[in-house]
Amino acid sequence: MKQRRKLGLSTQVNLRNIRIAVMGQDGVGKTALTVRFLTRRFIGEYDRTLETTNRHHIDVDGEYVALDILDTAGKNSEDKLENIVGYADIFLVLYSITDRASFHEAGKIVKYIRRHRTLDSSSIIIAGTKRDLEHFRTVRETDGSRLTYSLNCGFFEISISESFGETMDMFNEILRQYLNAHPLHEPSAGMISASHSPATSPITQHKEIKTPSSWAKVKGLKTMPFRRKSAQAIAC
Ligand SMILES: Nc1nc2c(ncn2[C@@H]2O[C@H](COP(=O)(O)OP(=O)(O)OP(=O)(O)O)[C@@H](O)[C@H]2O)c(=O)[nH]1
Ligand SMILES: [Mg+2]
Protein backbone atom coordinates (compact mmCIF):
# COMPACT_ATOMS: atom_id res chain seq x y z
CA MET A 1 0.00 0.00 0.00
CA LYS A 2 2.82 2.29 1.02
CA GLN A 3 4.60 1.51 -2.24
CA ARG A 4 1.46 2.15 -4.27
CA ARG A 5 1.02 5.57 -2.71
CA LYS A 6 4.63 6.40 -3.52
CA LEU A 7 4.00 5.42 -7.15
CA GLY A 8 1.29 8.01 -7.43
CA LEU A 9 3.54 10.80 -6.17
CA SER A 10 6.87 10.16 -7.74
CA THR A 11 8.27 9.11 -11.09
CA GLN A 12 11.54 8.10 -9.39
CA VAL A 13 10.14 4.75 -8.27
CA ASN A 14 11.27 1.91 -10.50
CA LEU A 15 9.07 -1.02 -11.38
CA ARG A 16 10.34 -4.44 -12.20
CA ASN A 17 9.25 -5.31 -15.74
CA ILE A 18 8.57 -8.95 -16.57
CA ARG A 19 7.29 -10.29 -19.86
CA ILE A 20 5.22 -13.44 -19.86
CA ALA A 21 4.31 -15.31 -23.04
CA VAL A 22 1.28 -17.57 -22.75
CA MET A 23 1.72 -20.33 -25.31
CA GLY A 24 0.22 -23.62 -26.39
CA GLN A 25 -1.96 -25.26 -28.99
CA ASP A 26 -5.28 -23.75 -30.13
CA GLY A 27 -8.04 -24.02 -27.59
CA VAL A 28 -5.99 -24.88 -24.51
CA GLY A 29 -7.20 -21.76 -22.68
CA LYS A 30 -4.51 -19.12 -23.29
CA THR A 31 -7.03 -16.31 -23.68
CA ALA A 32 -9.30 -17.66 -20.94
CA LEU A 33 -6.33 -17.67 -18.56
CA THR A 34 -5.16 -14.20 -19.54
CA VAL A 35 -8.64 -12.71 -19.29
CA ARG A 36 -9.26 -14.48 -15.98
CA PHE A 37 -6.04 -13.07 -14.54
CA LEU A 38 -6.63 -9.54 -15.83
CA THR A 39 -10.36 -9.21 -15.15
CA ARG A 40 -11.22 -12.06 -12.71
CA ARG A 41 -13.88 -13.11 -15.20
CA PHE A 42 -14.27 -16.33 -17.14
CA ILE A 43 -15.83 -15.83 -20.53
CA GLY A 44 -16.82 -18.88 -22.56
CA GLU A 45 -15.68 -17.86 -26.03
CA TYR A 46 -12.96 -15.56 -27.31
CA ASP A 47 -11.64 -14.25 -30.59
CA ARG A 48 -9.51 -17.16 -31.76
CA THR A 49 -7.16 -15.26 -34.01
CA LEU A 50 -6.29 -12.23 -31.94
CA GLU A 51 -2.82 -11.99 -30.39
CA THR A 52 -2.58 -9.39 -27.65
CA THR A 53 -0.10 -7.98 -25.18
CA ASN A 54 -1.58 -6.69 -21.95
CA ARG A 55 0.09 -4.51 -19.35
CA HIS A 56 -0.81 -5.32 -15.75
CA HIS A 57 0.65 -4.22 -12.42
CA ILE A 58 0.90 -6.56 -9.48
CA ASP A 59 2.43 -6.55 -6.02
CA VAL A 60 4.33 -9.78 -5.34
CA ASP A 61 5.39 -9.99 -1.70
CA GLY A 62 5.96 -6.24 -1.61
CA GLU A 63 7.78 -6.07 -4.95
CA TYR A 64 5.89 -4.02 -7.50
CA VAL A 65 5.92 -5.66 -10.92
CA ALA A 66 4.78 -4.42 -14.32
CA LEU A 67 3.76 -7.47 -16.31
CA ASP A 68 3.45 -7.63 -20.05
CA ILE A 69 1.37 -10.68 -20.83
CA LEU A 70 1.49 -11.87 -24.41
CA ASP A 71 -1.53 -14.02 -25.22
CA THR A 72 -0.37 -15.83 -28.34
CA ALA A 73 -2.68 -17.13 -31.05
CA GLY A 74 -2.50 -19.09 -34.26
CA LYS A 75 -0.25 -21.86 -35.44
CA ASN A 76 3.07 -22.29 -33.66
CA SER A 77 5.22 -21.83 -36.74
CA GLU A 78 9.00 -21.55 -36.54
CA ASP A 79 8.81 -17.79 -37.27
CA LYS A 80 6.29 -17.18 -34.56
CA LEU A 81 8.19 -19.23 -31.98
CA GLU A 82 11.42 -17.44 -32.86
CA ASN A 83 9.82 -14.05 -32.12
CA ILE A 84 8.31 -15.19 -28.85
CA VAL A 85 11.49 -16.89 -27.67
CA GLY A 86 13.30 -13.59 -28.04
CA TYR A 87 10.56 -11.65 -26.31
CA ALA A 88 9.65 -13.22 -23.00
CA ASP A 89 11.25 -13.61 -19.57
CA ILE A 90 8.74 -16.26 -18.53
CA PHE A 91 7.18 -18.82 -20.85
CA LEU A 92 3.88 -20.22 -19.66
CA VAL A 93 3.09 -23.16 -21.91
CA LEU A 94 -0.41 -24.59 -21.61
CA TYR A 95 -1.96 -27.87 -22.60
CA SER A 96 -5.44 -29.20 -21.93
CA ILE A 97 -5.67 -32.30 -19.73
CA THR A 98 -8.46 -33.40 -22.11
CA ASP A 99 -6.31 -33.22 -25.23
CA ARG A 100 -3.26 -35.40 -25.62
CA ALA A 101 -2.16 -33.64 -28.82
CA SER A 102 -1.96 -30.36 -26.91
CA PHE A 103 0.27 -32.08 -24.35
CA HIS A 104 2.70 -33.19 -27.09
CA GLU A 105 2.58 -29.70 -28.56
CA ALA A 106 3.48 -28.20 -25.16
CA GLY A 107 6.48 -30.54 -24.96
CA LYS A 108 7.60 -29.51 -28.46
CA ILE A 109 7.28 -25.81 -27.64
CA VAL A 110 9.32 -26.16 -24.47
CA LYS A 111 12.00 -28.15 -26.28
CA TYR A 112 12.16 -25.39 -28.89
CA ILE A 113 12.57 -22.75 -26.18
CA ARG A 114 15.25 -24.83 -24.46
CA ARG A 115 17.18 -25.18 -27.74
CA HIS A 116 17.21 -21.40 -28.24
CA ARG A 117 17.50 -19.96 -24.75
CA THR A 118 19.37 -21.00 -21.62
CA LEU A 119 16.80 -20.62 -18.87
CA ASP A 120 16.27 -21.95 -15.38
CA SER A 121 13.14 -23.72 -14.17
CA SER A 122 11.52 -20.52 -12.92
CA SER A 123 11.35 -19.17 -16.49
CA ILE A 124 9.53 -22.04 -18.17
CA ILE A 125 6.26 -23.29 -16.78
CA ILE A 126 4.00 -25.99 -18.16
CA ALA A 127 0.39 -25.91 -17.01
CA GLY A 128 -2.39 -28.39 -17.66
CA THR A 129 -5.75 -26.60 -17.97
CA LYS A 130 -9.39 -27.72 -17.74
CA ARG A 131 -8.87 -29.74 -14.56
CA ASP A 132 -12.60 -29.38 -13.93
CA LEU A 133 -13.19 -31.71 -16.92
CA GLU A 134 -11.85 -34.74 -15.06
CA HIS A 135 -14.21 -37.14 -16.88
CA PHE A 136 -12.58 -36.19 -20.19
CA ARG A 137 -9.03 -36.38 -18.92
CA THR A 138 -6.57 -38.02 -21.33
CA VAL A 139 -3.34 -36.65 -19.85
CA ARG A 140 -2.57 -38.01 -16.41
CA GLU A 141 -1.15 -35.73 -13.79
CA THR A 142 1.90 -37.99 -13.60
CA ASP A 143 2.45 -37.55 -17.37
CA GLY A 144 2.56 -33.80 -16.79
CA SER A 145 4.89 -33.98 -13.82
CA ARG A 146 7.21 -36.43 -15.61
CA LEU A 147 7.45 -34.23 -18.68
CA THR A 148 8.14 -31.11 -16.66
CA TYR A 149 10.72 -32.95 -14.56
CA SER A 150 12.56 -34.07 -17.68
CA LEU A 151 12.42 -30.56 -19.15
CA ASN A 152 13.30 -28.83 -15.86
CA CYS A 153 10.16 -26.67 -15.78
CA GLY A 154 7.61 -25.58 -13.24
CA PHE A 155 4.33 -27.49 -13.34
CA PHE A 156 0.72 -26.69 -12.48
CA GLU A 157 -2.65 -28.20 -13.17
CA ILE A 158 -5.57 -25.79 -12.94
CA SER A 159 -9.14 -25.10 -13.87
CA ILE A 160 -9.51 -21.62 -15.30
CA SER A 161 -13.29 -21.86 -15.38
CA GLU A 162 -13.93 -22.99 -11.82
CA SER A 163 -12.52 -20.10 -9.84
CA PHE A 164 -10.42 -17.01 -10.10
CA GLY A 165 -8.30 -18.19 -7.14
CA GLU A 166 -6.51 -20.99 -8.97
CA THR A 167 -5.37 -18.68 -11.76
CA MET A 168 -4.31 -16.00 -9.31
CA ASP A 169 -2.43 -18.48 -7.09
CA MET A 170 -0.60 -19.84 -10.11
CA PHE A 171 0.51 -16.43 -11.37
CA ASN A 172 1.59 -15.40 -7.87
CA GLU A 173 3.61 -18.56 -7.43
CA ILE A 174 5.22 -18.26 -10.86
CA LEU A 175 6.23 -14.67 -10.19
CA ARG A 176 7.44 -15.44 -6.67
CA GLN A 177 9.68 -18.23 -7.99
CA TYR A 178 10.94 -16.05 -10.82
CA LEU A 179 11.72 -13.08 -8.57
CA ASN A 180 13.52 -15.34 -6.09
CA ALA A 181 15.66 -16.82 -8.85
CA HIS A 182 16.26 -13.47 -10.56
CA PRO A 183 16.96 -10.85 -7.90
CA LEU A 184 17.71 -7.40 -9.20
CA HIS A 185 20.58 -5.76 -7.34
CA GLU A 186 20.65 -2.56 -9.32
CA PRO A 187 18.42 -0.60 -11.68
CA SER A 188 18.87 -1.98 -15.18
CA ALA A 189 17.03 -2.72 -18.39
CA GLY A 190 14.81 -5.05 -16.40
CA MET A 191 13.44 -2.02 -14.54
CA ILE A 192 11.15 0.63 -15.92
CA SER A 193 10.27 4.04 -14.61
CA ALA A 194 6.81 4.43 -13.12
CA SER A 195 6.24 7.28 -15.54
CA HIS A 196 6.64 4.97 -18.54
CA SER A 197 4.05 2.26 -18.54
CA PRO A 198 2.44 1.86 -21.93
CA ALA A 199 -0.86 0.04 -21.91
CA THR A 200 0.11 -2.34 -24.65
CA SER A 201 3.29 -3.33 -26.44
CA PRO A 202 3.00 -5.40 -29.59
CA ILE A 203 5.44 -8.22 -29.91
CA THR A 204 7.08 -6.74 -32.97
CA GLN A 205 8.47 -3.94 -30.79
CA HIS A 206 10.43 -6.51 -28.80
CA LYS A 207 11.65 -8.63 -31.69
CA GLU A 208 15.28 -7.63 -31.29
CA ILE A 209 15.50 -8.41 -27.59
CA LYS A 210 17.24 -11.76 -27.43
CA THR A 211 18.56 -11.85 -23.88
CA PRO A 212 16.64 -10.13 -21.09
CA SER A 213 19.01 -8.38 -18.72
CA SER A 214 17.38 -10.20 -15.83
CA TRP A 215 18.76 -13.49 -17.13
CA ALA A 216 22.37 -12.30 -17.15
CA LYS A 217 22.18 -11.93 -13.40
CA VAL A 218 21.29 -15.52 -12.66
CA LYS A 219 23.94 -17.36 -14.63
CA GLY A 220 25.44 -20.01 -12.39
CA LEU A 221 22.51 -20.01 -9.99
CA LYS A 222 21.53 -23.44 -8.80
CA THR A 223 18.07 -24.10 -10.11
CA MET A 224 15.42 -26.44 -8.78
CA PRO A 225 12.40 -27.45 -10.78
CA PHE A 226 9.18 -26.58 -9.00
CA ARG A 227 5.90 -28.19 -9.74
CA ARG A 228 2.62 -27.22 -8.22
CA LYS A 229 -0.96 -28.31 -8.44
CA SER A 230 -2.88 -25.17 -7.63
CA ALA A 231 -1.16 -24.19 -4.40
CA GLN A 232 0.01 -27.74 -3.62
CA ALA A 233 3.18 -29.45 -4.77
CA ILE A 234 2.81 -32.51 -7.00
CA ALA A 235 5.24 -35.35 -6.38
CA CYS A 236 7.05 -36.64 -9.46
N1 LIG B 1 -14.10 -26.29 -18.70
C2 LIG B 1 -13.08 -25.48 -18.98
N3 LIG B 1 -13.04 -24.83 -20.17
C4 LIG B 1 -12.00 -24.02 -20.41
C5 LIG B 1 -10.95 -23.83 -19.48
N6 LIG B 1 -10.05 -22.98 -20.03
C7 LIG B 1 -10.54 -22.64 -21.23
N8 LIG B 1 -11.70 -23.26 -21.47
C9 LIG B 1 -12.52 -23.18 -22.69
O10 LIG B 1 -11.74 -23.65 -23.78
C11 LIG B 1 -12.07 -22.96 -24.97
C12 LIG B 1 -10.81 -22.39 -25.59
O13 LIG B 1 -10.29 -21.39 -24.73
P14 LIG B 1 -9.42 -20.18 -25.30
O15 LIG B 1 -9.01 -19.38 -24.14
O16 LIG B 1 -10.12 -19.51 -26.43
O17 LIG B 1 -8.19 -21.00 -25.88
P18 LIG B 1 -6.89 -20.39 -26.62
O19 LIG B 1 -5.74 -21.21 -26.19
O20 LIG B 1 -6.81 -18.95 -26.37
O21 LIG B 1 -7.24 -20.71 -28.13
P22 LIG B 1 -6.67 -19.95 -29.47
O23 LIG B 1 -6.77 -18.48 -29.23
O24 LIG B 1 -7.55 -20.45 -30.56
O25 LIG B 1 -5.25 -20.41 -29.65
C26 LIG B 1 -13.08 -21.89 -24.57
O27 LIG B 1 -14.37 -22.36 -24.88
C28 LIG B 1 -12.91 -21.76 -23.09
O29 LIG B 1 -14.08 -21.35 -22.46
C30 LIG B 1 -10.99 -24.55 -18.23
O31 LIG B 1 -10.12 -24.49 -17.35
N32 LIG B 1 -12.09 -25.35 -18.04
MG1 LIG C 1 -6.86 -17.27 -27.67
Q: What is the pLDDT of residue 191?
A: 59
**C-beta of residue 30 within 8 angstroms of C-beta of residue 73:** yes
Q: Does the pLDDT of residue 227 top 60, yes or no?
A: no
Q: What is the pLDDT of residue 5?
A: 47
**C-beta of residue 36 within 8 angstroms of C-beta of residue 107:** no
Encode pLDDT of 189-225 as tens digits: 455 544 433 333 333 332 222 223 322 222 222 223 3
Encode pLDDT of 14-35 as tens digits: 679 999 999 999 999 999 999 9
Residue nearest to atom 23 of ligand 1 (CA): 48
Proximal ligand: closest to the CA of 29: 1
Q: Which residues line ligand 1 (CB under 6 A)?
A: 24, 26-32, 44-46, 48, 73, 129-130, 132-133, 159-161
Q: Does the pLDDT of residue 101 top 60, yes or no?
A: yes
Q: Are strands 14-24 and 191-193 parallel, antiparallel or unpaired?
A: antiparallel
Which residues have CB less than 5 Å away from ligand 2 (the ion)?
Answer: 30-31, 73
- 71: which residues sit within 8 A by CB, 6+ positions away? 22, 30, 31, 34, 50, 51, 52, 53, 54
